[in-house]
Amino acid sequence: MNAEIPLVVASHPDCRGVQRAVDAGLDCVSICRKDFSDIAEFSSAVFDALRLKQVDLVALAGYLSLLHIPDDFRHRVLNIHPALIPAFCGKGMYGHHVHEAVVARGAKVSGCTVHLADNEYDQGPIVLQSSVEIPDGATAEEVAALVFDREKIAYPEAIRRVISGLFEVDGRRTRLISADTEADA
């Protein structure tokens, strides 16, 4: 993928992602929700930092703070969720909580969903979903490992789709338009 990472924004200064970003030589800043009086002020600080670096596309990965997406970043913020939305999503459904709920429910499949972020948890238009079968008797940790392996494939593919120039959003639906259709237009 022809991309550069001009900035990593962490929601907590002590998360694993900060050290990984620093080790990779990336510019990293921590902007913590608790340091702001409300979500609007917090979101403004995050997007101001992204604007300074002229970021084209934001890829959230393990970012646990709700953000209010400003108009100039509408449809330019991706998030990945470790389940097949609309199942096992929303406030409080992240990380191990998702996989524990999947196992407790006895689900036969799980997976991941890459979606465009909006101003609610896990409600934006879906870009891509990828499923995994859950073996009988699997633990939450085993489900998490299966889903994570799928996330490593799905997220880059979703990014490719969004940056392809052949991606469009129509309400809550997304689609890839064919290059042939684009050439005919």
Catalytic residues: 81
Q: Is the distance from CB of 23 to CB of 70 less than 8 angstroms?
A: no
Pairwise CA distance, residues 119 & 68, whole Å: 5
Q: What residue type is 57 in one-letter code?
A: L
Burial 81-101 (b: 16+ CB within 10 A, else e): bbbbbebbbeeebbeeebbbb
Residue 99 has, within 13 A of its CA and on its CB side, a CA count of: 19
Whose CA is closest to 15, among 61, 67, 55? 61
Q: Is the distance from CB of 65 to CB of 11 less than 8 angstroms?
A: yes
Pairwise CA distance, residues 140 & 143, whole Å: 5
Q: Is the distance from CB of 63 to CB of 11 less than 8 angstroms?
A: yes
Question: Would strands 109-116 and 126-133 be described as parallel, antiparallel, or unpaired?
Answer: antiparallel
